[in-house]
Copies of this chain bind each other. A is one copy, B any other.
Amino acid sequence: MTAAKPPRESRPASAQSGRRASRLVDIAEAAGVHVSTVSRVLNGDPAQSIRPETYERILSAARQQGYRPNAMARALKRSRAGALTFVIPLLRNPIWVKLQRGSLQRAAERGYVVMIMEEPAEEPRPPDSYRYLVEESRADGLLVATALRIPEHAAGLPAVPHVYVNRRGPHRGNDVVMDESGAVRIFLDHVTGLGHRSVAIIDGPPEVDTVHRRVAAARRMCASRGIRLTVRHAPPTEEGGWRATTSMLRQGPVPTACGVGSLNQLFGVMGALRDAGVAVPGTMSLLSFDEDECLAFLDVPVTSVSMPLAELGGAAVDALIARIEGRPAGDLMIREPMSLLLRGSVSRPGAQPAASDVEG
């Protein structure tokens, strides 16, 4: 009735691999014990009371065979993949690199691997379209960093552990964001302290959550301080920054200080100011809400607000794992460390071109 077990060679060998990976049963055989014993030992089962002798035999056999647990089998048994998926818009903007780095590192520390899925920047897909990764149990949860908050994307991700990173989701309770309002305050404190009374913000589209929060904070603060505020929304590209600036310079009273939402826009803004013969910081003070080392090496070094991006990435991973494990959770705002990096692009209004950042 029962046929003899087929020989081991019958299984597919990976193209480049000679030897098969060793399994629990292989090391059990070598150690002369049962696989369950091996499993217990290798997992450091708390309820273990293994004879030191067999313990050693198992460990050395495992080491000698270079044993690696099969993550798929384990995932299947435990119904837990040990992987997270990061849905992220792969833009040239360097903030994503710092964010990714923070997440990868924290995830590694917590025993998870991270799969990165690109969100096409041109035609964004709703976050919902990534849940299949969890449903196929390739991942235990989703880190969603897509920037948009538009109606079609409002459905959200019920029934799948997830966290919105650097944006607020449609339902609250699953957001991990930074203190954009604090960044705006730093900007305004700096320039108003130097005497500026008419400031501008050039930023991305208002549908981007971070943009939305920066602009809202700016409106509120400027209103209460009696500061004139000009806001320009544009695509988050060099071209977008150029157009926004050029059009701003054409219309009405030109502000004397300007905060720019992204590095890419900043290049466009500087290009437009140069084309228009507007001196920085002499006629226009400039500050970037994206920090990048290259800012220090530009024609006129650009002052920026440095945001806690790596911390955001790490905190998002922690928050997601908490949800996966069913622990209570809520929205999170990462505030530290945030700092103003003084370089040469901000001065008193009407100051000479040679001026550089002046202390408070």
Contacts and interface: CB of A to CB of B under 8 A. Distances in A.
Interface residues of A, number: 72
Interface in A121-160: 132-133, 135-138, 140, 158-160
A70 interface: yes
A116 B85 CA distance: 10
A113 interface: yes
Interface in A73-100: 73, 75-76, 79, 81, 83, 90-92, 94, 96-97, 100
Nearest to A324: B15
A199 B114 CA distance: 44
A159 B81 CA distance: 25
A295 to B, nearest CB: 9
A296 interface: yes
A105 interface: yes
Contacts of A297: 238, 242, 267-268, 270-271
Contacts of A140: 14
A19 interface: yes
A19 B242 CA distance: 50
B17 A136 contact: no
Contacts of A323: 15-16
A158 B17 CA distance: 7
Contact of A68 (B68, B136, B325): B136
Interface of A: 11-12, 14-19, 21, 66, 68-73, 75-76, 79, 81, 83, 90-92, 94, 96-97, 100-101, 104-105, 113-118, 132-133, 135-138, 140, 158-162, 237-239, 242, 263-264, 267-268, 270-271, 274, 292-294, 296-299, 323-327
